[in-house]
Structure 1
Amino acid sequence: MVWDEPVPIGRDQARATYLAVRRTRPVSGGDVPEVAKELPGEVTLYPGHVLVSMDLDTMDETSAQVFTIARAHGLVCYDPQRDLVHNVAPLGVYEGMQLHTGDGMIVHDPDLGLVNDVLATLSPQNPFVALVNFGRHFLQVSPGYELEYKENTLIRAMVPELAEVQRAFSEYATGDRSFLARHTWAQTT
């Protein structure tokens, strides 16, 4: 579901908005918002909100298109399947940075709140999360909180808790390399 919010919102607010809108009746007729004309999948209009339905087989590709279109229009996007909210900002410092997950999600220029929330979904169903700046460097993590960072060489560090992983990813996304000094890294072969 996509809609306008004046400031970034959290997952709880996005989920509550989505559920409240779903309890109302769709609208028909009248002016169709420009964003609804661009969105893939089956589109249902609600006052101030556009719901995009998609089949599970193409969900990852369709979701990526919806996120891109929503961002281009300055709209929030909530993914009820993954319980994740995509805000327009704040973004990291690397234009073109990509967020990849082990369950198939790819987001271009993810907002920092999304990155933080996605890290909490690490599980056997989502076995890694990576922030990638192709041709330059990346940071990824797998369950058990094994961080891997590659710029010139691949190095690994074990991190004790999710909060520290989230801190490292936030630092990486904002161009801060403090996480490199804070952990004990081993070069891999």
Structure 2
Amino acid sequence: MSVELMVWDEPVPITRDQARATYLAVRKSRPVTGAVPEVAKELPGLVTVFPGHVLVTMDLESMDEISGQVFAVARAHGMVCYDPQRDLVHNVAPLGIYQDMQLHTGDGMIVHDPDLGLVHDVLGTLSAQNPFAALVAFGRHFLQVSPGGDQPDAGYEVEYKEGTMVRTLLPDLADVRRAFHEYATGDRGFLSRHAWS
């Protein structure tokens, strides 16, 4: 089984809906031959060039490793990357304040310097297939979340570590998204707003 990522230039950050629509429209068009864009030369995997877009195809076993490389090349070129398997778009900006911050997910995705929109969208994918998400500023601190239990209304268990590990249970996804946004932007309001143990 193969999986795909699509890379292209966008002047401003786009939504998942916009990225999905672009991907579907491009997939209906014909690949081009001849001159290969510079970014296509740096991308791993099987590369197919469409007008203004580059499609990277890889096998499922190498998806995590190759995806990380594709995300990094796209970012280095200031390009958007859409992941149709996860229905996630990787924009160039806006970013959090921690240089080299990483986003880790329970389904194997690792993104260096994730944009804030991606972090927001990833949190909406928490499930049995993606049992956690974490933002990590290595050597300093991290914030991670997992669904609180088997019940649909069990909330979310959030852990924060900076020296010692503390935990809290947040009732809904909006609270989790706010805490992760604050963490990524250097605001520690989530620590005083919730009861931690």
TM-score, normalization by structure 1: 0.97
| 1:67-120 Cα distance to aligned partner (Å, 9 max, x none) | 000000000000011110000000000001000001111000000000000000
Query: Which of 26, 32, 41 lines up with 1:27 in the alignment?
Result: 32
Percent identity, aligned pairs only, is 79
Partners of 2:118 and 2:60 in 1: how far apart? 21
Partners of 1:9 and 1:118 in 2: how far apart? 15
Specify the alignment match of 1:134 in structure 2.
138
Specify the alignment match of 1:164 in structure 2.
175
Partners of 1:142 and 1:34 in 2: how far apart? 39
1:34 Cα offset (Å): 0.3
For 1:166, the aligned partner's letter is R
Partners of 1:135 and 1:24 in 2: how far apart? 46
Partners of 1:74 and 1:134 in 2: how far apart? 24
Specify the alignment match of 1:104 in structure 2.
108
Unaligned runs of 5+ in 2: 1-5, 149-155
Secondary structure at the counterpart of residue 49 of structure 2: strand
Higher strand content, 1 or 2 = 2
Secondary structure at the counterpart of residue 104 of structure 2: strand
Partners of 2:36 and 2:120 in 1: how far apart? 34
TM-score, normalization by structure 2: 0.93
| 1:2-54 Cα distance to aligned partner (Å, 9 max, x none) | 0000000010000000000001111112x210000000000001000000000
For 1:113, the aligned partner's letter is G
Unaligned runs of 5+ in 1: none
For 1:172, the aligned partner's letter is Y
Secondary structure at the counterpart of residue 54 of structure 1: strand
Specify the alignment match of 1:119 in structure 2.
123
Partners of 2:167 and 2:131 in 1: how far apart? 16
Specify the alignment match of 1:3 in structure 2.
8
Query: Which of 88, 93, 101 lines up with 1:89 in the alignment?
Result: 93
1:152 Cα offset (Å): 1.2
- Give the paired residue count: 185
Runs of 4+ in 1 over 4 A off after TM superposition: none
Specify the alignment match of 1:14 in structure 2.
19
Counterparts of residues 143-154 of structure 1 (less than 5 Å): 143-144=147-148, 145-154=156-165
Partners of 1:7 and 1:164 in 2: how far apart? 27
Partners of 1:43 and 1:132 in 2: how far apart? 31
1:56 Cα offset (Å): 0.3
Partners of 1:166 and 1:58 in 2: how far apart? 30
Secondary structure at the counterpart of residue 178 of structure 2: helix
Partners of 2:125 and 2:14 in 1: how far apart? 18
Counterparts of residues 50-69 of structure 1 (less than 5 Å): 50-69=54-73
Specify the alignment match of 2:189 in structure 1.
178
Partners of 2:26 and 2:158 in 1: how far apart? 39
